[in-house]
Amino acid sequence: MKDTIYQSNDAQQGKVTPFEFNEEVVRVFDDMISRSVPGYRASIELAMVLAAEICQPNDHIYDLGCSLGAATFALLNQKALPQLHITGIDKSIPMLHGFQKIMQSQGHKPTTDSLPLHYESINHQQHVLDLEEADLVTMAFKPSKLVLLNYVLQFIKVEQRAALLTDIHKALQPGGVLLLSEKIICENQEHHAFIDKLHLRFKSLQGYSELEIAGKRSAIENVLIPETYEAHEKRLKEAGFSQVIPVLTHLNFMTILAVK
Ligand SMILES: C[S@@+](CC[C@H](N)C(=O)[O-])C[C@H]1O[C@@H](n2cnc3c(N)ncnc32)[C@H](O)[C@@H]1O
C-alpha cells in the first residue's frame, strides 16, 4: 500500500506527531522504507549473501528489529541456503502481527496461537522461525552465527547502543558476523549538507512531495538519531569486533559488516 501518511491535513498545518511503528505505519511500511532508504534492497541482498557464505545447517540467525520480515523472507526463500533457525525480534506488536499475516498469506501456520510464534518446516529446507516481542535493550541473546540489525540501532538511545553491541558480540559464535545498516551523518559539514540535499532529491524522485518530506522529517527528528561512520566503527571495535568492514554506502545510508 502506498505511503500517504504525510499528505494529511495535519502535516499540511505542520502538526505532526513523533514517528512510531504503529498500525498506520505498518500498512505502508514496505513502500515507505523502499522509497525513503537508498540501498535498502541491496542491504537485504547482503543478508542473503552473508548467510550463504557463513551459515552451516541448523545455524541460528537473529533478525533484530525485523519489522515485516523483509530480510527473514529473503533468507527463507533463498533455495541455496542450508536449514536455518531464524529468530525475528521486534518491540512493535503491529509489526509482528503484520509479519504473521504475511506468513499466513504464504500458507505457513505457527504451532502456537499467540506471541511468541513458532513455525516449523518452512519451505523445502525445513527452516524454523520464531517471532518474538522483545526490547533489544533488555533481552537475553542466544548463541548465533549471524545477527541482522538493519536500520534499527538508529532508533535506540545513543547511550544504550554500546551495551547492545557488546551483548550481540558475546552472543555471536566464532566467525559470526553482525550486519549493521544505518542512516549516517558526515563529519564534514559541507559533505553532510550536500548528501542530505541529495537524499531529499532521492525522495522527491520517488514521488514524495516537499510537504511529505518535511512532515516525515519533523516526525522522525529526535526519534531516529544518526551518527557518523567513525562513531559506529569505534563503538563496534570497543564492543570486541575484530574486523569492521563498510560494504555498502548509498548517499546517507550505510551497511557495515562487523566480524567477531
Ligand atoms: C526501520 S525498521 C527496521 C527494518 C527492518 N529491519 C527491515 O530490514 O525491513 C525498525 C524496527 O526496529 C524496531 N525497534 C526499534 N527499537 C527497538 C527495540 N528497542 N527493540 C526491538 N525492536 C525495536 C521497530 O519497531 C521497527 O520495526
Please report the pLDDT score of residue 8 as a whole number.
72
pLDDT digits (tens, 9 = 90+) for 213-244: 888 888 888 999 999 999 999 999 999 999 99
Alpha carbons 207 and 224: distance in angstroms, whole number: 22
Alpha carbons 38 and 206: distance in angstroms, whole number: 10
Give the mean model confidence (pLDDT) for residues 33-38. 95
3-state SS class at 59? strand
Quick check: is 31 in a domain?
Answer: no
Cell of 76: 527463507
Looking from the CA of residue 149, the nearest atom of ligand 1 is 6
Say which range, 12-26, 109-123, 164-178, 208-222, has the weakest mean pLDDT. Answer: 12-26
CATH number, residue 237 = 3.40.50.150
Say which range, 42-56, 134-148, 209-223, has the weakest mean pLDDT. Answer: 209-223
User: How many CB atoms neighbour CB 200 within 10 A?
Assistant: 15
Quick check: is 8 in a domain?
Answer: no
Please check whether residue 125 is in contact with residue 80, taking contact to mean a CB–CB distance below 8 angstroms: no
Indicate yes or no: pTM above 0.85: yes
Quick check: is 250 in a domain?
Answer: yes
Cell of 52: 550463504
Percent of the chain with pLDDT over 90: 83
- Tell me if 152 CB under 6 Å of ligand 1: yes
Is residue 211 scored above 70 in pLDDT? yes
Ligand 1 centroid distance, CA of 152 (Å)? 5
Is residue 70 scored above 90 in pLDDT? yes
Please report the pLDDT score of residue 11 as a whole number.
64
Quick check: is 154 in a domain?
Answer: yes
Ligand 1 centroid distance, CA of 55 (Å)? 23
In testing the pocket of ligand 1, which one of 91, 161, 255 has its CB within 8 Å of the most ligand atoms? 91
What are the beta bridge partners of residue 84?
59
Please report the pLDDT score of residue 9 as a whole number.
61
Ligand 1 centroid distance, CA of 90 (Å)? 6
Quick check: is 130 in a domain?
Answer: yes
Overall domain count for the chain: 1
Quick check: is 27 in a domain?
Answer: no
Quick check: is 200 in a domain?
Answer: no
Is residue 10 scored above 70 in pLDDT? no
The separation between CA 200 and the C-alpha centre of its own chain, rounded to angstroms, equals 21
Confidence of residue 15 (pLDDT cuts 50, 70, 90): confident
Alpha carbons 32 and 26: distance in angstroms, whole number: 9
Atom 10 (ligand 1) nearest CA: 152
- Residue span of the structural domain in which 55 resides: 40-186+224-259
Atom 12 (ligand 1) nearest CA: 65
Quick check: is 115 in a domain?
Answer: yes
Atom 11 (ligand 1) nearest CA: 65
Ligand 1 centroid distance, CA of 92 (Å)? 8
- Tell me if 97 CB under 6 Å of ligand 1: no
- Tell me if 91 CB under 6 Å of ligand 1: yes
Alpha carbons 187 and 231: distance in angstroms, whole number: 10
Please check whether residue 248 is in contact with residue 46, taking contact to mean a CB–CB distance below 8 angstroms: yes
Ligand 1 centroid distance, CA of 76 (Å)? 19
DSSP state of 252: T
